[in-house]
Copies of this chain bind each other. A is one copy, B any other.
Amino acid sequence: MELEKYLGEVITQVNETIDKYIQGDVPELYEASRYLLKAGGKRLRPLMVVLSSELLGGSRDRAILAGAAIEVLHNFTLIHDDIMDQDTTRRGLPTVHVKWGIPTAILAGDLLHAKAFELITESIKGLPIDLAYRALNCFSRSIVIVSEGQAMDMEFERRWDVTENLYLEMIRKKTAQLFACSAHLGGLLANGTNEEVNSLYDFGEKIGIAFQIMDDILGITADEKELGKPLYSDIREGKKTILLIKALERANEHQRKTIMNGMGSSEVSTLSSVASLLSELSLDYSQQLVRKYYENALRSLSKVRSRNQLALDGLRAIADLIITRRK
């Protein structure tokens, strides 16, 4: 109960900060920029920033600004990814480019990207320059890495030779880097030791990998309404998820043909039969992989000496949520 209240309070402060910063006098652009942020989202990444900071006894205000920066940045990537992947629904609503057209959606993403830097700049105001530099560097390097991951993800759509290792490298860049940077930033802003901020980085990275594998799993097993976006879109888009990679490894010739011919289809019945095969052949394996990264993440977290039991409980609760979530 106390934990719930604590997390709720942090989320409220992050949301208030986002509201305050995403304002301006070009109405349509700001409306399009705020839309996805207002549509929901679990705010996992800003929670990682703030709780990692408070775990080491850092101050609240600075971490809230950095958390808001990470969330705004994440939403920018979602808006652009939806254009690139031609996704039409997210968080149960039409995507930004469906509602406002591609030009405004590109610009709304660019605006959020810039606003994220405005927020991170606020968060380092008055810090020792060395810490400020490290925080900014972690932030801007992360976006470079996330962009590289998205490029790999798109390139893999055209390939059939993607291995599990390549897949892991791709999701480490596309998804896990931002979780890693979140925990790392929290540690830096609280002036943690090198060992502490590195352990937090590892915690974030592993939890981020678990998050993405769960995302792949939910893409074929979730309740579509609960998920807020179409099921099977990974199969329709030819995404090389861990489920697909492992299923192809384990499939007999007939199954292999069914899968390969079904990838990229727009027929729901075809997509659904590919999904059944993936479930049969690789769901177990994928769930075990999630478990493995989850346990490694908690091991990294346990290396950090906690100064705040509530923050520690909160980080563990986030890790639990990530592997038990249904959306």
Contact = CB atoms under 8 A, between A and B. Distances in A.
Contacts of A133: 121, 124-126, 132
A106 B154 CA distance: 12
Nearest to A121: B136
A30 to B, nearest CB: 9
A29 B125 contact: no
Interface residues of A, number: 45
A155 to B, nearest CB: 7
Given A80-B106, A83-B106, A140-B118, A26 B151 contact: yes
Contact of A148 (B24, B84, B129): B24
Interface stretch (A51-59, A108-116, A270-278): A108-116
Contact of A107 (B28, B110, B136, B150): B150
Contacts of A152: 26
A40 interface: no
Interface string A1-33: 000000000000000000000001110110000
Q: How many copies does the complex hold?
A: 2
Given A110-B80, A117-B117, A147 B102 contact: no
B84 A147 contact: no
A165 interface: no
Interface string A86-112: 000000000000000011101101110
A84 B111 contact: no
Nearest to A149: B26
B24 A144 contact: yes
Contacts of A28: 151, 155
A154 B104 contact: yes
Contacts of A125: 129, 133
25 contacts: A28-B155, A77-B110, A80-B107, A80-B110, A83-B106, A84-B102, A84-B103, A84-B107, A102-B102, A104-B154, A107-B147, A110-B143, A111-B147, A113-B113, A114-B143, A114-B144, A114-B147, A115-B140, A115-B144, A117-B136, A117-B143, A121-B140, A125-B133, A126-B133, A128-B129
